[in-house]
């Protein structure tokens, strides 16, 4: 009977591992052109103001909390930041909206208003360009 319990425990652990790996495959942040890794808010602003164009954006992992993210967008002469928080159900929340993956958030706000400024609906355009030397250029502002 003890062996049966051990087998079930091993099986459950394996199932959880497979689920986590599948989740990573479904939303591979590291390979997304808009994801820059861990970055402070000030560094994101600095990068977007120096290199970003109007409505270009990036997603960064917040430095204060592992697993918590922020969407940063350049708009006019400033940047706006929106927290992306994980839910207990394994989804992501931005404002009052919940999505299965961060990539779904990006897709949604490329087609729908992220915020309104002076009666203008603002959507995401394209990711802020990573420089030819890769993400290290972006992170150099940290």
Mean pLDDT, contiguous 10-residue spans, the chain (142 residues): 50 52 61 93 94 91 94 92 96 97 95 88 86 47 44
Q: How far is Cα 8 from Cα 135, in angstroms, rounded to an integer?
A: 43
Whether the predicted model's global pTM rises above the 0.75 cut: no
Q: How far is Cα 15 from Cα 121, in angstroms, rounded to an integer?
A: 43
Name the 3-class secondary structure at 80.
strand
Q: Residue ranges per domain, the chain?
A: 1-31, 32-139
pLDDT value, residue 24: 47
CA 74 to chain centre: 16
Fold of 32-139: SHC Adaptor Protein (3.30.505)
Q: How far is Cα 131 from Cα 114, in angstroms, rounded to an integer?
A: 26
């Amino acid at each position: 009977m003890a062996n049966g319990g051990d087998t079930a425990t091993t099986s459950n652990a394996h199932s959880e591992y497979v689920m986590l790996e599948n989740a990573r495959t479904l939303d591979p942040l590291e390979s997304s052109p808009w994801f820059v890794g861990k970055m402070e808010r000030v560094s994101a602003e600095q990068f977007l103001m120096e290199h970003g164009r109007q409505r270009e954006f990036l997603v960064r992992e917040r430095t204060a909390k592992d697993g918590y993210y922020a969407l940063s967008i350049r708009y006019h002469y400033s940047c706006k930041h929106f927290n992306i928080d994980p839910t207990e159900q394994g989804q992501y929340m931005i404002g009052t909206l919940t999505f299965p993956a961060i990539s779904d958030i990006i897709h949604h706000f490329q087609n729908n208003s992220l915020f309104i400024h002076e009666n203008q609906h603002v959507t995401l355009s394209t990711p802020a360009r990573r420089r030819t030397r890769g993400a290290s250029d972006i992170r150099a502002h940290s």
